[in-house]
A and B are shown apart, each in its own frame.
Chain A
Amino acid sequence: MVGFKDFDRRQAVVAGLGGLFMLTADNASAQAQANLTFWTVRLNTPELSAALKAILNDFEAQNPGIKIKHEPVSGNLVYPKFLTAIRGQTMPDIAEAYSYHPLQFAAADQMEPMDDIIELWKGNGLLADIFSEYAYKKFLWRDHYWGVPYNLDIRPIYYRKDLLEAKGLKPPRNWDEFQAAAIALNDPANGVFGVVFPAGNFHIAQHFYMSFMFQAGGSILDKDGNLVFGTTAKDANVKALTYLTDFATKHKVTPPGIASYNTDEPHTLYVQGRAAFGFGTGGLISRLMKENPALAEKTGILEVLEGPAGPSGKLTAAFYNPMFVWKHSPAKDAAKTFVKWFVQPGRLERLYQAVPGQHWPIFKRDINTDRVKSNRLLKEALDNVVPYSTDFAYPGFGRPEMGVIDGEKMFAAPVNEVVVGAKTPEKAVLDAHEAMKKVFSS
């Protein structure tokens, strides 16, 4: 065995030079290699992570100079994690997260503009292939695009075809028909509620209110981005809130405890066959397929309802989730190379297959796949919901303040307060408007 004492000075010098050479060589190879950190918020279940891993392997095989380190971020810790990273300047090179993150982080001067990618998409026709212009214009703020959409998250209404048929009813197409059907199908003796929706003090509650808001002709912002929730849009927003909460307070066709419901409770009740109409996310499709395939056969996805605003207001809330690049990333070009590669038609098919319905493509050409054609619920969601999907700021475009308004659940509060009888719809809307006004003036 050779010990240190066996080395003479010459050997030590040679070993030292050798080590130095190896270090230099390693550094040189590191310079050629771009190492990117990719934070994900919405792709962290075991199925989705596995699908993402395969996609990332493909990327690395096609781009040998770039390595991606995937780091999942818990949905509950998104803001603490990102804000700590901003403060410590340890942001990831690339991230995918919730709708308003790019604008909020751009307002904090942390984001790299993505104008070049939008320009590229304009040139190669991809931009025109995206379902809705709100998908990318929501990231436009102060003349720059701060993120690009990669995924669509929908909010459909599921219904029981068999129960409707038994009553001789057709799938409702407008507010009046929907209300009449929910009342007609409410069957407490058999444990079936007319409609189940989340009205707890959670983010999901405001998503469905938003759909009805648009259908009533209301909104939070006007087309110039001004706050109109409790001013010019007040009457429509009150009408929408009254219509939605009446199912619980006046018609009493919902479960009595919806004021504490988050996303899972309506899903569970629907999957158990205890709701004629269920408000949910796209993820309910895979739950139905997995947990109650027989009920999946009896389920339909309602076409977006027409409300008092008529055909122009036939819209539903949905969220075009973004990818964005950190301004101080040492490998911004490589990060953008990855984003350009990742957001392309057909590229994320593995994600869609992993959890059917939970994630939706943003490109129209992605709908003609066998996966969609062979799954009736996916097809119905695509025909009846996706084309009508729009976002919070409609009819305006990006405002960083909307992240706070959404984050602090400022329009979930009215739903929750009216359902428990703490406020009238008008008072709830006016109070929420005052809270929102403070965000815009802060």
Chain B
Amino acid sequence: MFLQRRARFAYFLVLPSLAVITLLDILPIIESVVVSLQNQNMGRSNPEAFVGFAHYSRALFEEPTFWTSLWKTVIWTAFSVAGAYLVALGLALLLNMDIWGRTLFRALFLVPWVIPDVATALLWKWLYGDEFGVINFLLTKVGIINKPVLWLSDPLMAMPAVVLVQIWKLYPVMFVVLLAALQNVPKELTESAVIDGAGVMQRFRFVTFPFIKATSIILTLLASIWTFQAFDIVYLLTGGGPAGATKILPTLVYDKAFWGLEMGYASAISLLMLLCLLVISVAYLTIYRTQGLQADEARA
């Protein structure tokens, strides 16, 4: 009886959160599903005409844009997350050591995180400029290049250039979390490994990494979700160009929804994106659980 009452009270306590989630997440998703099945061309007077799965069919089978954009989104996400993780891990390992200025550097490395995306894009646009960009200026000054690198104008360079910006934007949050995880690694274990003659790489692989593995999986999952749907940086830096080289799915959705006024089609693409994210998330969580079980078995 007491437990039942406790459970009822617990449900009562989560009600406000549930209401907010329903209002801000579940209802918009349901609305998106409805919109994706309607014409919803805002430039037409019959937006609510039911069209079934026509928008999905168009995206998946009739126009190659969805697939090319999906591929670019996968590249953008994979390289951004992997790059940011490596940078964050490197810095976290470095600043987990007892070095001079550790507190100052910890604060400094967080700066990119607090800069708004729009300001980040403008800042990097200025850095990447071909004729007045700081990077080309410095590279020319030190004699590494003799003509400007077309960071944002060359279709082969544009994707690496925007990925670099996303890495810069993404690594601080990963750095903070990894640093916290590293501080949970028992010092005695590392010291024992040193006494046993383990090298730096061995210590990292067999002592440190197992302790930050679970954190790393969750962190890269979250970063993948954020990056997969990131929009501002690419849109402001390249507009999806040159020649579509950086046309990732969020920019396609934005163009179709807010310039093409095709809300139905854009909603269908958004829901396909959601499906992709669900697949990624399930894969990640499956790995996470498997790893967790293995760890439990090892401990037992």
Chain B residues lying within 8 Å of A107, measured Cβ to Cβ, are 43-45
Choice from B150, B240, B244 contacting A257 with Cβ under 8 Å? B150
Q: Does B160 belong to the interface (CB within 8 Å)?
A: no
Given contacts A107-B43, A200-B242, A260-B241, contact A404 B260 (CB under 8 A): yes
Given contacts A104-B43, A200-B241, A423-B243, contact A404 B131 (CB under 8 A): no
Given contacts A108-B43, A108-B44, A401-B43, contact A258 B260 (CB under 8 A): no
Q: How far is the CA of A50 from the CA of B152 in the complex (A)?
A: 36
Given contacts A108-B47, A265-B129, A408-B255, contact A256 B261 (CB under 8 A): no
Chain B residues lying within 8 Å of A416, measured Cβ to Cβ, are 241-243
Q: Are B153 and A108 in contact (CB under 8 A)?
A: no
Interface size on B, residues (CB 8 A): 35
Chain A residues lying within 8 Å of B239, measured Cβ to Cβ, are 200-202, 262, 409
Query: Which A residue sits closest to B31, measured CB to CB?
Result: A87
Chain A: number of interface residues, binned into ranges: 35 or more
Q: How far is the CA of A257 from the CA of B238 in the complex (A)?
A: 12
Query: Which A residue sits closest to B258, measured CB to CB?
Result: A79
Which residues 371-426 of A have a CB within 8 angstroms of B?
400-401, 403-404, 407-409, 413, 416-417, 419-420, 422-423
Choice from B44, B148, B150, B240 contacting A201 with Cβ under 8 Å? B240
Q: Does B155 belong to the interface (CB within 8 Å)?
A: yes
Q: Are B131 and A257 in contact (CB under 8 A)?
A: yes
Q: Does A268 belong to the interface (CB within 8 Å)?
A: yes
Q: Are B243 and A417 in contact (CB under 8 A)?
A: yes
Shortest C-beta distance, A141 to chain B (Å), equals 11
Shortest C-beta distance, A88 to chain B (Å), equals 12
Q: Are B261 and A404 in contact (CB under 8 A)?
A: yes
Q: Does A255 belong to the interface (CB within 8 Å)?
A: yes
Shortest C-beta distance, B186 to chain A (Å), equals 50
Q: Does B191 belong to the interface (CB within 8 Å)?
A: no
Chain A positions 195 through 210: 1 when the CB is less than 8 Å from some CB of chain B, otherwise 0:
0000011100000000
Shortest C-beta distance, B163 to chain A (Å), equals 16
Chain A positions 77 through 91: 1 when the CB is less than 8 Å from some CB of chain B, otherwise 0:
001100100100000
Query: Which A residue sits closest to B132, measured CB to CB?
Result: A268
Which residues 126-172 of B have a CB within 8 angstroms of A?
129-132, 147-148, 150-155, 158
Q: Are A408 and B129 in contact (CB under 8 A)?
A: no
Query: Taking chain B's interface residues, is the majority helix, strand, or loop, or is none over half, making it mixed?
Result: loop
Chain B residues lying within 8 Å of A83, measured Cβ to Cβ, are 42, 257-258, 261, 263
Query: Which B residue sits closest to A439, measured CB to CB?
Result: B260
Q: Does A359 belong to the interface (CB within 8 Å)?
A: no
Q: Are A422 and B43 in contact (CB under 8 A)?
A: no
Chain A residues lying within 8 Å of B243, measured Cβ to Cβ, are 201, 259, 413, 416-417, 420, 422-423
Chain B residues lying within 8 Å of A439, measured Cβ to Cβ, are 260
Chain B residues lying within 8 Å of A442, measured Cβ to Cβ, are 41, 262
Choice from A255, A260, A265, A269 contacting B242 with Cβ under 8 Å? A260
Choice from B43, B147, B241 contacting A404 with Cβ under 8 Å? B43
Choice from B43, B148, B153, B262 contacting A420 with Cβ under 8 Å? B153
Q: Are B260 and A257 in contact (CB under 8 A)?
A: no
Q: Are B242 and A407 in contact (CB under 8 A)?
A: no
Q: How far is the CA of A420 from the CA of B152 in the complex (A)?
A: 11
Q: Are B152 and A257 in contact (CB under 8 A)?
A: yes
Query: Which A residue sits closest to B240, measured CB to CB?
Result: A201
Q: Does B259 belong to the interface (CB within 8 Å)?
A: yes
Shortest C-beta distance, A82 to chain B (Å), equals 9
Q: Does A274 belong to the interface (CB within 8 Å)?
A: yes
Query: Which A residue sits closest to B154, measured CB to CB?
Result: A420
Q: How far is the CA of A80 from the CA of B260 in the complex (A)?
A: 11
Q: How far is the CA of A421 from the CA of B150 in the complex (A)?
A: 14
Chain B residues lying within 8 Å of A408, measured Cβ to Cβ, are 255-256, 259-260
Query: Which B residue sits closest to A275, measured CB to CB?
Result: B131
Q: Are A79 and B259 in contact (CB under 8 A)?
A: yes
Shortest C-beta distance, B222 to chain A (Å), equals 26
Chain B residues lying within 8 Å of A116, measured Cβ to Cβ, are none
Shortest C-beta distance, A105 to chain B (Å), equals 9
Query: Which B residue sits closest to A255, measured CB to CB?
Result: B131
Chain B residues lying within 8 Å of A422, measured Cβ to Cβ, are 155, 242-244
Chain B residues lying within 8 Å of A261, measured Cβ to Cβ, are 153
Q: How far is the CA of A61 from the CA of B132 in the complex (A)?
A: 49
Could you list 21 A-B pairs, sorted by A, with CB under 8 Å?
A104-B42, A104-B43, A107-B45, A108-B42, A108-B45, A201-B242, A202-B239, A256-B150, A257-B129, A257-B130, A257-B148, A260-B130, A260-B153, A272-B132, A400-B43, A408-B255, A409-B239, A417-B244, A420-B154, A423-B243, A442-B41
Closest 7 A/B residue pairs (Cβ): A201-B241, A257-B130, A407-B259, A79-B258, A260-B152, A422-B243, A259-B153
Beyond the given A260-B158, A420-B153, please list 18 additional residue pairs across the A-B interface where CB-CB is below 8 A.
A79-B257, A83-B261, A104-B42, A200-B242, A201-B238, A201-B241, A201-B243, A202-B239, A256-B147, A260-B153, A262-B239, A404-B260, A407-B259, A408-B256, A408-B259, A409-B259, A416-B241, A420-B154
Give B residues with C-beta under 8 Å from A.
Answer: 41-45, 47, 129-132, 147-148, 150-155, 158, 238-244, 255-263
Give A residues with C-beta under 8 Å from B.
Answer: 79-80, 83, 86, 104, 107-109, 200-202, 255-262, 265, 268-269, 272, 274, 400-401, 403-404, 407-409, 413, 416-417, 419-420, 422-423, 439, 442
